Structure 1
Amino acid sequence: MTIETASIGILQKAVEKLADGYSHLPAHTTEYDQQKAEEILLQVAEKMWDNYPYPHPQYAGQMLKPPHPVARMAYMLATWINPNNHALDGGKASSAMEKEAVAKIATMYGWNDYLGHLTGGGTLANLEALWVANHIHPGKTVLASSQAHYTHNRICGVLQIPFEPVAVDDQARMDLTDLETKLQQLDVGTVVVTLGTTGVGSVDPLPEILKLQKKYGFRIHIDSAYGGYYTLADNLTTEVRAAYDAIQQADSVVVDPHKHGLQPYGCGCVLFRDPQVGRYYKHDSPYTYFSSDELHLGEISLECSRAGAAAVALWATLEMFPLVPKGNFATDLSHCREAALALYARLNNDSRFITPLEPDLDIVIWAPKATSTSEISRLSQLTFERAEQQDLYLATFSYPSHLIKKTFPDVYVDSDYTTCVRSCLMKPEHASWGDRIWQILDKIQHNLK
């Protein structure tokens, strides 16, 4: 794998520019053993070889998208100051950058009057959304699809809120019949709607869930940690497009810039349609909020100390890649989906494979065809292992066997779950690397036993 190095020279110029802003202060330099530091860094570089090549197009496994060089450089530049975005006296410039960046994300969903901020990741962002939801509907049940991220069940345990999963349909989307049954049977306060499940990338039917909201009066939280930016793509199906267009009507939204947003870990974002939910965060701090009458981000966040560098990196990235339809960022997302559709089409048209569902976004799951679910699982695991030997890095996913049976009725179900092969085609380059990836898969399949 070729490591990008041109950014090192750009970063050098940026660091020198940063230093100019503090040239009026008395001279001071940090003293350290540079030779020892170099020796240690070289050891670190060698230890880092023990990673999969995440930035390379032949890494097509988990949702690990490399940060853009501009994000990486901006993050690193900010660490020379190391701002803390809890209070303005700890991160004045980076707090302003965060507010600007979050406003651009909110505008992407059609929100101009809102409350929101960055978080350390999607888990904290979802926790805040459900924490606020519980203030509005205290003690009421939270529902999410059985394919939603496990974090919702876990968060409800932490917050001591009742949680119930909702069944999914043949496309691994929230089943509306089961949802309404649970709405009738339970005291439901919030329904978590997933726009892009992390397992298979399925998009829940938000427009229909909004209709049920009018009838039953629950709160809607959108977990689009993985799929949120896909609202900008121009090649979604009509059904999926309708779900994204309806986000504006939801009560809260979570999206992770460190997934499709080209950011280093960790960078999540939570948004609330009603700015008045800020009252639930109100607290006093005797030593952090005195420096300015402006809003301190710590006043609307459960987290305290938080890396200002994440905000700086996101701001820089949005300057380079505005969140607009047909822009470079949006076009790259469409290329990711093109890559997924192309791989799905090849697999679906090849009798050696089964394809449980057509991708809604850029995640594809498939498996070698076999007579039983246990044999499918064995061959999927073997495919995963053989691919790595050919420098193609995939992932596996446990899919409910009853859903496999619905799609392929001839299969004998002898296990509750079936291991499938899973690929997150999150790099726009995957659209042009499809032939090479397919050649490796075809070679593996010829020798699979």
Structure 2
Amino acid sequence: MFARWYSEEFSSTHTFAHVETSPWEEELETAAAQLAKLLSEGAVDQADPRNFAHQVPVPSKAALLGLFMGAVYQQNQAARELSPVTSSLEDQVIESYARMLGLGQEAWGYLCSGGTSASLHAVWTHTKRAGESSVDLICSRATHVSVERIAGALKGVRLQRLDCDAHERIDVGAVAQAVKGSLVAGRLPVVVATCGTTGAGQIDPVADLVELRRTTPFVLHVDGAWGGFLATLTTTGRLGRSTRDVAALAHADSIGIDPHKMASMPVGCGVILYRDPELRELVHRQSPYVFVEGRGHSYGQLSLTMSRNGMYASAHWLQNQVCPLTAEGLGSDVEQILEGARTLADEMERAGMRLLFEPTVGIVVCVPARATMSETNAVVLQVAAECLWHDERPTQSLPTISTYRITAPAVLERIGRETGVVRDTGELHAFRMVVASPPRPGFRPHAMAVARGLTQRCTRLR
């Protein structure tokens, strides 16, 4: 499809003529063949059914086609005069996210490189509210590791990590105390809640935080990089206990989402959205050499970054045409991912593994049955070392997986109480498995085989 478009449509452009007059055609043929061999022999195949290690889905055909089509035109989203079409496409993509999340017609935002970039942009933007005062960035110990980098990079931002509850969600009572202390000190409190933690896939009590904000003022940013797409299912009744917190995303002051996770976009595509249109005026900037007035805002006027390729806007726009951000569109994929995680969790438990968290957002965390946490750690770390690298597993029956280190005292106490494992150390290492794309047909027998293979490998280490 891309080859046909490239030769029939793109061939009429000056860019095509320039690209096709390369003086290094012979060298390019040789190097391209070498690159193809390197990738085919060593790259991770994200569609490998044994690959459960990370939140990296298989990119969709529409997204790849849109990416390639946009890339060859080399459009720069920094200014509309450099990207008249792809900036308009990005406008439409941002509007689709505002609708999905229920943020209102005045919500605004832009594409970025991913969840870390989205949170960085959000905190930077909210610092403009603070004026001369400083910012307290308040989050749980389960919040993504990027908050340390963000606090270290932005002037006047101080990080406060709070203890989690027994299910590794942020403690609302602790947030209330931290916010009050911040206000007394004359600082701006910015609370970061997570919809789908990276470690265990848990959802912070966003609805309770929204209620707290009614009486105690603070800025609420939500890191929805992984679980934000559950918003496609808010009105369907399919989210169970998560419905209230996912619906509350509509009341966040800002929210970051990663289309390169559940939306099957190529890696490098993130979204940041803001509910308050007045924030846009606080960050809006001019330049003596770019930004033509009268054609609407340019994305480079609103964000930390300037140059950004329009290929992601064209990719996401094309993806939205075939799979919109609705319950019937992307919501169908999200539901399959959630069901796939529940199926994997069921089979792990049947094979003798102990589940440590409810698989709320596509992540299964489990451990082999052992008497103590230190014994569990030894087995998990040895087996996981064999299973982390996709091309170094001792047997093809083992999946590619990652691990998760649990240190929250309340979580360890709950796990000990529920599983009977003796808590003789201050941390617990667990297998972490991710269902990142809608599973293929026949997933349950496959999940059963994976669970049995992993359990048998652990058993041999007794």
TM-score normalised per structure 1: 0.91
Does the residue aligned with 2:439 lie in a helix, a strand or coil?
helix
Which secondary structure state, in structure 2, belongs to the residue aligned with residue 266 of structure 1?
coil
* SS at 2:365 equivalent: strand
Which residue does the alignment assign to 1:164? 160
Q: 1:52 aligns with which of 39, 44, 48?
A: 44
Map of 1:38 onto structure 2:
29
Q: CA deviation at 1:181?
A: 2.8
Q: 1:140 aligns with which of 129, 135, 138?
A: 135
2:433 aligns with 423
1:237-268 deviation line (CA, Å, top 9, x unaligned): 43311111111111111111111121112111
**Does residue 436 of structure 2 align to residue 436 of structure 1?**
no
Q: Would the alpha carbon gap of residues 312 and 237 (structure 1) be closer, same or farther in structure 2, given more than 3 Å must change?
A: closer
CA contact (8 A) 1:339 1:431 kept: no
Deviation, 1:118, is 0.6
Change (3 A) 1:362 1:80: same
**In structure 2, distance between residues paired with 1:31 and 1:434:** 50
Cα drift, residue 235 of structure 1: 6.5
Return the letter of the residue paired with 2:415. Answer: T
Gaps of 5+ in 2: 388-392
Q: Note if contact 2:348-2:448 (Cα within 8 Å) is conserved in structure 1.
A: no
Alpha-carbon distance in structure 2 between the residues aligned to 1:24 and 1:397: 48
Distance 1:335 1:440 in 2: 19
Deviates more, 1:374-383 or 1:201-210: 374-383
- Superposition RMSD in Å: 2.3
Q: 1:56 to 1:115 in 2, by over 3 A?
A: same
Contact 2:415–2:421 (8 Å) recurs in 1: no
Counterparts of residues 107-186 of structure 1 (less than 5 Å): 107-110=99-102, 111-137=104-130, 138-160=133-155, 161-186=157-182
Change (3 A) 1:416 1:45: farther
Q: In the alignment, is the contact (CA less than 8 A) between 1:339 and 1:430 conserved in 2?
A: no
Q: Which of these residues, 47, 54, 64, is aligned with residue 62 of structure 1?
A: 54
Q: What is the rounded CA distance, in whole Å, between the counterparts of 2:323 and 2:331 in structure 1? A: 9
Distance (whole Å) between structure 2 residues aligned to residue 324 and residue 106 of structure 1? 12
Q: Percent identity?
A: 22
Superposed CA offset, 1:32-58 (max 9, x none) = 332321211121122223233222222
**Which residue of 2 is the match for residue 6 of structure 1?**
none
Name the counterpart of 2:370: 370
Once residues 19 and 268 of structure 1 are traced to their aligned partners in structure 2, the CA distance between those partners, rounded to angstroms, is 27
SS at match of 1:222: strand
- Measured in 1, the distance between the counterparts of 2:19 and 2:457 equals 64
Aligned length: 438
SS in 2 for 1:375: helix
Structure 2 distance, partners of 1:338, 1:85, is: 37
Alpha carbons 1:76, 1:309 under 8 Å: kept: yes
Q: For the residues of structure 1 that align with 2:354 and 2:17, how far apart are their CA atoms? A: 68
Alpha-carbon separation, structure 1, partners of 2:376 and 2:37: 37
How many angstroms apart in 1 are the aligned matches of 2:146 and 2:83? 30
Match of residue 390 from structure 2:
none
1:178-204 deviations in Å (ceiling 9; x for gaps): 222323333351111111111111001
Show CA shifts across 1:197-254 (max 9, x none): 1111100111111111111111111110111111113565433111111111111111
Q: Does 1:306 align with 2:313?
A: no
Cα displacement (A) at 1:166 = 1.8
Q: Which runs of 5+ in 1 are unaligned?
A: 1-9
Distance (whole Å) between structure 1 residues aligned to residue 197 and residue 380 of structure 2: 21
- Cα deviation, 1:382-424, whole Å, max 9, x if unaligned, reads 3334553334211111112632331223323333221111111
Query: Is residue 401–residue 415 contact of structure 1 (8 Å, CA) maintained in 2?
Result: no
| Residue pairs, 1:284-299, within 5 angstroms | 284-290=286-292, 293-299=295-301
Distance in 1, matches of 2:439 and 2:168, equals 27
Q: CA deviation at 1:437?
A: 3.1
Partner of 1:395: 402
Contact kept? 2:163, 2:408, Cα under 8 Å: no
State the alpha-carbon separation in 2 of the partners of residues 24 and 266 from structure 1: 24
Cα displacement (A) at 1:100: 0.8
CA contact (8 A) 2:196 2:202 kept: yes
The 3-state SS of whatever aligns with 1:422 is strand
Q: Which residue of 2 aligns with 1:242?
A: 244
Note closer, same or farther for the CA distance 1:37–1:30 as it changes in structure 2 (3 Å cut): same
Question: Does structure 1 retain, via aligned residues, the 8 Å contact 2:221–2:252?
Answer: yes
The 3 A distance-change label for structure 1 pair 291 and 252 is closer
Query: d(CA) in 2 for partners of 1:209 and 1:337?
Result: 25
How far apart are residue 323 of structure 1 and its match? 1.1
Shift of 1:341: 1.0
Structure 2 residue 413 is the aligned partner of structure 1 residue 412: no
